[in-house]
Amino acid sequence: MADDEDVVEEEVQLEERGESEVALSPVLAEKPLAPPLYEVRPGLGGKFQAANVKEIIMSTMQEQLMGRQYRSDQAVKWAKSIANGVRQRVQELDMKRYKILVQTIVMEMKGAGVKCGQRCIWDPETDDYVGDLYKNDTIFCYTTVYGVYMY
């Protein structure tokens, strides 16, 4: 109510100066806001592009690890550069509203086996993941990219 009284006082002061009412109320001049648009599903062609992402993963791992021998002091640096490179190139695909998560594992090939598992709770219609493996005589590298649609 106090706000209404302030507006009335301003109108009186402006009328005394001879100004029109259109100039005095900027609130009336604003257009009403459009209703918010809620995107619950990605549009046509907007889903996670698993085939393109797989190509990016493999090319990035080959660029970083081709011709190298495993070194424990460099493995962390290689894993970070692969993960960051993959994430940056996947984001350039411009999949709108997707959160991109990248996980890279670099290990030494010594003949021992490795078993890994993953479990995710998500919407199977919109969310997806893809992973690829690179190995040479001394390096075993596995990179996984998760694409989670943000509602």
pLDDT tens for residues 72-97? 999 999 999 999 999 999 999 999 89
Interatomic CA distance for residues 148 and 126, integer angstroms: 7
CATH fold of 50-149? Ribosomal protein S3 C-terminal domain (3.30.1140)
The pLDDT score that the predictor gives to residue 95 is 92
Q: How, if at all, do strands 128-135 and 139-149 pair?
A: antiparallel
Tell me the pLDDT tens digit for each residue of 110-149.
Answer: 988 888 888 999 999 999 999 999 999 999 999 999 999 9
Where are the domains positioned within the chain? 50-149
Tell me the pLDDT tens digit for each residue of 22-69.
Answer: 555 555 567 788 877 777 888 888 899 999 999 999 999 999 999 999
Interatomic CA distance for residues 4 and 51, integer angstroms: 60
* Residues 6+ away with beta carbon under 8 Å from 42: 95, 96, 97, 98, 126, 149
